[in-house]
Chains A and B, each alone.
Chain A
Amino acid sequence: MRAREWAALALPGTSAVLMLAAIEAALVLAPTERVMGPLQRIFYFHLSDAIAAFAAFVVAFGASVAYLARGERRWDALAVSAVEVGELFSTLVLLTGMLWARMAWNTWWTWDPRLTTMLVLWLLYAGYLMLRASLEDEARRARYAAVLAVLGFLDVPIVFMAIRWWRTIHPVLFDASGAHMEPAMLAAVVVSLLAFIGLLATLLVARVRLELLSGDVDELHRRLL
C-alpha cells in the first residue's frame, strides 16, 4: 500500500482502537456505581454520544455559515454530512437514554429539558434532511438547507430555555466545582469521549467524500447526456 492509503486508514484505525479501549474502560475498569450498579455503565457511551451529536450539529452550523458566505460546494457537502451523522448520533443518544431511564427512573421517557430538546433537535434535523430530499436544484437545495441549519441551530438555545422552565430530573455531573465522580470513572468518560469523537470524525470524512464523489458523478452524467 502507498503512503496515502495508509494515511487514509489512520483515522478509522485510531478510532477503532479507542473504541475498544472505551469498551474496556467503561465495562471493566471503571468501578461499579453504588446506587445504580452495573446499569450506570451505559452512561459513558450515552454522554460521549450526546457530546458527539452536539459537535456534529456545531460542525453543520459552521459549514452552513461558511456556505452562505462563500457559496462553495464543499461546505454544503460538509453540512449535509454533519447533519446526517449528527442525526445518527442523536438517535443513539435517545435510545441509550431511554434504556437507562427505564431502569433508573422507571419510565422510558420523561419531558425533561434535555430529553425534550434532544427530541426537538432530532425532529428539526429530520426536517432538514426532508427539505434537502425534496429540492432538485443543487444551488437552491444548498442555500435553503444552509438557511435552515443556521436558523435552526440559533433556535436551539431558545428551545432549551423554554423547556428548562419546567422542572428537570436529569442529573448534572459537571458544574463550576468540577466533575462529581471517581477518577477511574472520569478516565472512562475521557476515553469513551475520545472514541466517539474519533468515530464522528471517521464517519464525517467518509460521508463528505461520498457526497463530493456523488456530486462529481452527477456532473459527469449531465455532461455525457
Chain B
Amino acid sequence: MSGWRPFLALVGKDLVVERRTHQALATMFVFSLLVLVILSFAFELRVGNAQQVAPGALWVALAFAAVLGLNRSLAQEREDGCLEGLMLAPMERSTIYLAKAASNLLFLVATQAIVLPVFSVLLGVDVLRADLALVLFLGALGLAAAGTLVATMAAQTRAREVLLPVLLLPLSVPLLIAGAKATAGVLDGGGLAGVSGWLRLLAGFDVAWAAASYLISATILEE
C-alpha cells in the first residue's frame, strides 16, 4: 500500500471509532465548557468586562480540551496492542503520525465549532467570526501537529496521561501567546491585518512543528 489509501483508512478508522463511542468530542466539549464556567467564577469577582478575559478563557479552554482529546486518541491506540498492529502494517511509519495528527485536527476543529456558539452566548462576546475562525484553525493545527507527537511518547510511559500537559504546554507557549494575542486583536476590531505578525508566528509554529514531527515520528514509532 502506498499514497493516500493507508492515510485515509487510518483517519476513517478514528472517525468510525468516534461515531460509535462519541467519547472524544463529548468529553472535549463538556470539558471546554467546564473550563469556561470555572474561569468565569474565578474572574467574575474582579473583572467587570467579559471582553477582557474572553481571548484568554477561549485559549485556555481549547488548549486543555486538546490535551484531553490527544490523550484519548493515543491511549486508544495503546489498548489491545493496536499501535503494534499499525506498526506491522505495510506502510510508512510517518503515515501513522500524519493520520493521527489529521484526525486529532478534525476533532479539535469540530470541538471549536460546537464550543464557539456557547462561548458567544455565555460570555456575551461575538466569537463566531470568519477572521477568528482562521486564528483558531491555525491554533488547532499547531496543537495537533506538536501534540500528536508528544502524546505518542507520553502514551508509552508509565506516567501516561499525566505527562502530556507537562511536556506539551511549555512547548506550546508561542502558540498560546500568539493565539490569545491575535484573538484579542480581532475581537477589539483590528481585523486580521492588525494581527498579521501574530498570525505569521502561528503559521510558522505550525509549519515548523508539522515538518519536524513528521520527520521525527518514525524514530518514535520504532520497534
* Docked-complex contact B170 and A140, CB < 8 angstroms: no
Shortest distance from the beta carbon of A116 to any chain B beta carbon, whole Å: 8
Q: Is A109 an interface residue (CB 8 A)?
A: no
* CB-CB under 8 A for A151 and B153, given A134-B159, A162-B178, A165-B197: no
- The answer to whether B21 has its CB under 8 Å from any CB of chain A is no
Stretch at the interface among A39-47, A52-60, A120-128: A120-128
Contact: A134 with B219, CB < 8 Å? no
CA distance A159 to B172 in the complex (A): 8
A120 with B159: CB separation less than 8 A:
no
Within 8 A of A (CB), among B165-223: 166-167, 169-171, 173-174, 177-178, 181, 197, 201, 204-205, 208, 212-213, 216, 219-220, 222-223
| B177 contacts A162, C-beta separation under 8 Å | yes
Secondary structure at the A interface, as helix, strand, loop or mixed, is helix
B157 adjacent to chain A (CB < 8 Å): yes
**Cβ contact of A143, chosen from B171, B174, B181, B222, cutoff 8 A:** B222
**B68 CB-CB contact with A under 8 Å:** no
Report if A158 contacts B (CB, 8 A). Answer: yes
B156 interface residue per 8 A CB criterion: yes
List, in ascending order, chain B residues with CB within 8 A of A151's CB: 149, 171, 212-213, 216
Whether A144 contacts B171 by the Cβ 8 Å rule is no
- The complex places the Cα of A127 from the Cα of B205 at a distance, in Å, of 20
Within 8 Å of chain A (Cβ to Cβ): is B50?
A: no
**Is A155 an interface residue, CB under 8 A from the partner?**
yes
Query: How far does the alpha carbon of A136 sit from the alpha carbon of B201 in the complex, in Å?
Result: 37
Nearest CB on A from B59, distance (A): 13
Q: Which residues of B contact A131 (CB under 8 A)?
A: 153-154, 157, 163, 167
Given A147-B153, A158-B208, check contact A124 B216 (CB 8 Å): no
CB of A147 within 8 A of CB of B163, answer no
Report the minimal beta-carbon distance from B7 to chain A, rounded to whole angstroms: 22
Among residues of B, the one whose C-beta sits closest to the C-beta of A125 is: B170
How big is the A interface, by class? 20 to 34
Q: Does B158 interact with chain A (Cβ within 8 Å)?
A: yes
Q: A104 in the interface, Cβ–Cβ < 8 Å?
A: no
State whether the Cβ of A23 lies closer than 8 Å to any Cβ in chain B: no
With contact pairs A124-B171, A127-B166, A143-B222 given, residues A158 and B204 touching in the complex (Cβ less than 8 Å)? yes
Most buried by A among B163, B170, B197, B204: B170
Nearest residue (CB) in B for A162 is: B174
Judged by a CB distance under 8 angstroms, whether A17 is at the interface is no
State whether A140 and B156 are in contact (beta carbons under 8 Å apart), knowing that A147-B219, A158-B208, A161-B201 are contacts in the complex: yes
Q: Is the CB of B177 within 8 A of A148?
A: no
Q: Is the CB of B174 within 8 A of A134?
A: no
Report B107 CB to chain A, min CB distance, Å: 23
Q: Do A161 and B174 touch (CB < 8 A)?
A: yes
CB within 8 Å of B: which A109-162 residues? 120, 123-124, 126-127, 130-131, 133-136, 140, 143-144, 147-148, 150-152, 154-155, 158-159, 161-162
- The answer to whether B220 and A147 touch across the interface, beta carbons within 8 angstroms, is yes
- Alpha-carbon distance A120/B173, docked complex (angstroms): 8
Apart from A123-B166, A154-B208, 8 more pairs, CB < 8 Å:
A120-B173, A130-B159, A135-B157, A143-B220, A144-B153, A147-B219, A148-B153, A155-B171
21 contacts between A and B (CB under 8 A): A123-B169, A124-B170, A126-B166, A127-B170, A131-B154, A131-B157, A134-B158, A134-B163, A135-B157, A136-B158, A144-B157, A147-B153, A147-B219, A148-B153, A151-B149, A151-B212, A161-B174, A163-B173, A163-B177, A165-B177, A165-B181
Q: Sorted from nearest, which 3 A-B pairs have the closest CB atoms? A: A162-B174, A134-B159, A134-B157
